[in-house]
Amino acid sequence: MTRNETRTLETRLAQIGVGRDERTGAISFPIYPSATYRHPAVGQSTGYDYTRSGNPTREVLEEGLATLEGGARACVFSSGMAALTTLFLHFAAGDHLIVSEDLYGGTYRVLDQVFAKLGLAVSYVDTTRLDAIESAVTAATRAILIETPGNPLLGVADIAAIADLCRRRNLLFIVDNTFLTPVLQRPLELGADVVVHSATKYLGGHNDLCSGVLVARDPQLGERLYFLQNATGAVLPPQDCWLLIRSLKTLALRMERHCRSAIEVARWLRRQPKVTVVYYPGLEDHPGHELSRRQTSGFGGMLSFRVESPELARQVLEKLQLISFAESLGGVESLMTLPAVQTHADIPEAERRRLGVCESLLRLSVGIESVPDIIADLEQALA
Ligand SMILES: *Cc1c(COP(=O)(O)O)cnc(C)c1O
């Protein structure tokens, strides 16, 4: 075990890239914008040939992300959707995937409107229920993709139990870890094969960067993902790799604050007469609460809640002053969205209604502003 592996996650986050630029000793690892690299001689390479295939700044970021998730290899992409698209290109026409029904709308859209045409079949199931997953498996099933907690209803899936099922059925197990990050949940250690992130969210954390990540537990699968990344080319530019490295240094601190604030906001919301339901895994009576306690080290900064009527939901969004009515999540700034008309608009209406993603459901990404200020804004918006 190298010294790095014995260090805590918080330490490794703060230290990403430190000392890696041996020539200068730079604490902040430099941005290498070079598109290409001079070869020392025919048949020789410095280790870098062309920036799509390898870039020093991206390499520091990818190595950092691989160790944080406990994987063999990480690849970073120009968005979360680019990461997912590259991963789906691993499959072939005729393959079948099982995917969480409580899912990011863009993932549904690319599967439904792009990969369906290429012959990839998908079943959307309630992945909080193991029996539902098990009965969706067919001879053509190749993989299971889950989001846990789900989006926007925050249902919790049992990662270790699904990993066990995947081992028995020889399926690839993919976990979208965007909502919790490796600070709170490490799916590869619980038996998943691939972790996906929209790094636009908590990893980036400041609403100023669009990026995606894949991490593979196994070196061979890591090689395959690297092949796909290089072959299809949706890499993250070096400037953004540097910005993401800088963002990761404070990830542990930020997640701690997001968790601490979200539970307070969830408890406050629950006491409001105009709020009919609050979905947050940190609440003791959330159906996934006990499971979350076991498989995560915190409940995250995302919560959803229902208000009395669609009219009230619209009023809240229009009256917000501190919290921004905006898509996305995971940044230091609090954001609120109406999933039915924004992030999940591409999910057919009947399906949305069945899931309970209606127009009185609001999703809140609790930022790092002070809790009394966040609550005061919610209070005046609900009044
Ligand atoms: C935002 C998001 C994505 C897509 O990522 P982009 O960076 O927006 O392309 C995928 N999964 C989840 C859970 C997300 O929240």
Cα 295 from Cα 180, distance rounded (Å): 11
DSSP-based three-state secondary structure for 216 = strand
Q: What is the pLDDT of residues 315-341, one digit of tens each?
A: 999 999 999 999 999 999 999 999 998
Hey, what are 275's tokens? 């709020």
Cα 106 from Cα 364, distance rounded (Å): 18
Active site residue 52: yes
In this model, does residue 246 exceed pLDDT 60? yes
Mean pLDDT of 61-80: 98
Please tell me if the CB atom of residue 210 comes closer than 6 angstroms to any atom of ligand 1: yes
Spatial contact of 177 and 187, defined as CB atoms under 8 Å apart: yes
Rama region for 94: left / alpha / beta (φ>0; ψ in -120 to 50; rest): left
Q: Where are the domains of the chain?
A: 3-248, 251-382
In this model, does residue 245 exceed pLDDT 60? yes
Q: Given 52, 109, 169, 260, which residue is catalytic?
A: 52
Q: Given 102, 176, 193, 240, which residue is catalytic?
A: 176
Hey, what are 88's tokens? 């789906």
Say how many Å lie between the CA of residue 200 and the centre of ligand 1: 7
Ligand 1, atom 4, lies closest to the CA of 80
Mean pLDDT of 68-94: 98
Q: What is the pLDDT of residues 183-230, one digit of tens each?
A: 999 999 999 999 999 999 999 999 999 999 999 999 999 999 999 999
Say how many Å lie between the CA of residue 190 and the centre of ligand 1: 22
Active site residue 176: yes
Please tell me if the CB atom of residue 79 comes closer than 6 angstroms to any atom of ligand 1: yes
Atom in ligand 1 nearest the alpha carbon of residue 81: 9
Banded pLDDT at 348 (limits 50, 70, 90): confident
- Please provide the size of the chain in residues: 383
Write out the CATH class of domain 3-248. Answer: alpha beta
Please tell me if the CB atom of residue 147 comes closer than 6 angstroms to any atom of ligand 1: yes
pTM confidence score: 0.96
Mean pLDDT of 41-64: 97
Which pLDDT belongs to residue 4?
A: 63
DSSP-based three-state secondary structure for 194 = strand
CA dist 144 → 51, 104, 125, 347, 363 (Å): 32, 15, 10, 19, 25
Say how many Å lie between the CA of residue 212 and the centre of ligand 1: 8
Ligand 1, atom 12, lies closest to the CA of 104
When the pLDDT of each residue in the chain is averaged and rounded to a whole number, the result is: 96
Atom in ligand 1 nearest the alpha carbon of residue 83: 9
DSSP-based three-state secondary structure for 167 = helix
What would the CATH number be for the domain defined by 251-382?
Answer: 3.90.1150.10
Which pLDDT belongs to residue 1?
A: 46
Active site residue 104: yes
Mean pLDDT of 168-173: 98
Q: Given 20, 201, 306, 352, which residue is catalytic?
A: 201
Active site residue 314: no
Angle at the Cα of 256 from the Cα atoms of 250 and 262, rounded to 5 degrees: 125
Q: Which of 4, 382, 2, 362 shows the shortest CA–CA distance to 152? A: 362
Mean pLDDT of 2-11: 79
